[in-house]
Amino acid sequence: MPAAFAISPAIDLIDVPRRIVLTGLPAGAEVTIAAETPRDGHVWRAEAVFAAGVDGSVDLGRDAPLRGDYAGVAAMGLIWAQTGSGELFPADLSRPLETTLTARIGGETIASGRFSQVLMADGVTRHPLAEDGLVGTLFLPAGEGPHPAIMILNGSGGGINEPRAALWASCGVAALALGYFGAPGLPKYISNTPLEYFARGLDWLRARVRPQNDFVAVAGQSRGGELALLLGATFPDKVSAVLGYVPSAFVHGGQAAADPALGRDGPGWTLDGKPLVHQWQDNATASWKPYDEATETRRNADAMLTALGDPAAMARARIPVERIAGPVLLLSGGDDGAWPSDFYSLIVQSSLLAAGHPHEVLWRNWPAAGHSILFPYTPATRIAHRHPVSGIATTMGGTPAANAEANAGAWETALAFVRRHGGQAG
The question of whether 122 is a catalytic residue gets the answer: no
Show the low-confidence residues of the chain (pLDDT under 50).
Answer: 425-426
Q: Are residues 143 and 79 in the same domain?
A: no
| Strand pairing report for 174-179 and 149-153 | parallel
Q: Are residues 100 and 48 in the same domain?
A: yes
- The b-or-e profile of 273-288 (16+ CB within 10 A means b, else e) is eebbbbbbbebeebbb
What pLDDT is attached to residue 378? 98
- Residue 92, Cβ density class (10 Å: 0-12 exposed, 13-18 middle, ≥19 buried): exposed
Given 302, 371, 372, 421, the catalytic residue: 371
What pLDDT is attached to residue 390? 84
Q: How far apart are CA 224 and CA 191, in angstroms?
A: 14
Nearest-CA neighbor of 57 among 14, 3, 99, 16?
Answer: 3
The question of whether 12 is a catalytic residue gets the answer: no
Q: At 199, which CATH number?
A: 3.40.50.1820
Give residue-wise pLDDT tens across range 19-35. Answer: 999 999 999 999 999 99
Total structural domains in the chain?
2
Give the pTM. 0.96
Q: Are residues 143 and 233 in the same domain?
A: yes
What pLDDT is attached to residue 9? 99
What pLDDT is attached to residue 424? 58
Q: Are residues 268 and 317 in the same domain?
A: yes
What pLDDT is attached to residue 41? 86
Given 15, 302, 336, 342, the catalytic residue: 336
Cβ neighbours of residue 248 closer than 8 Å, sequence gap 6 or more? 223, 225, 226, 229, 319, 339, 341, 344
The residue out of 83, 118, 153 marking a domain boundary is 118
Q: Are residues 242 and 295 in the same domain?
A: yes
Q: Are residues 92 and 66 in the same domain?
A: yes
CA quadruple 262, 266, 269, 270: dihedral positive or negative?
Answer: negative
For the residues of 54-87, what is the DSSP string, one character each? TTS-EETTT---SEES--S--TTHHHHT-B-SS-
Q: How far apart are CA 291 and CA 193, in angstroms?
A: 25
CA quadruple 249, 251, 255, 258: dihedral positive or negative?
Answer: positive
What pLDDT is attached to residue 294? 84
By three-state DSSP, how is residue 48 classified?
strand
Given 222, 240, 341, 345, the catalytic residue: 222
The question of whether 63 is a catalytic residue gets the answer: no
The residue out of 67, 101, 118 marking a domain boundary is 118
Q: At 59, which CATH number?
A: 2.60.40.2240
Give residue 163's domain range.
Answer: 125-422
The residue out of 101, 118, 135 marking a domain boundary is 118
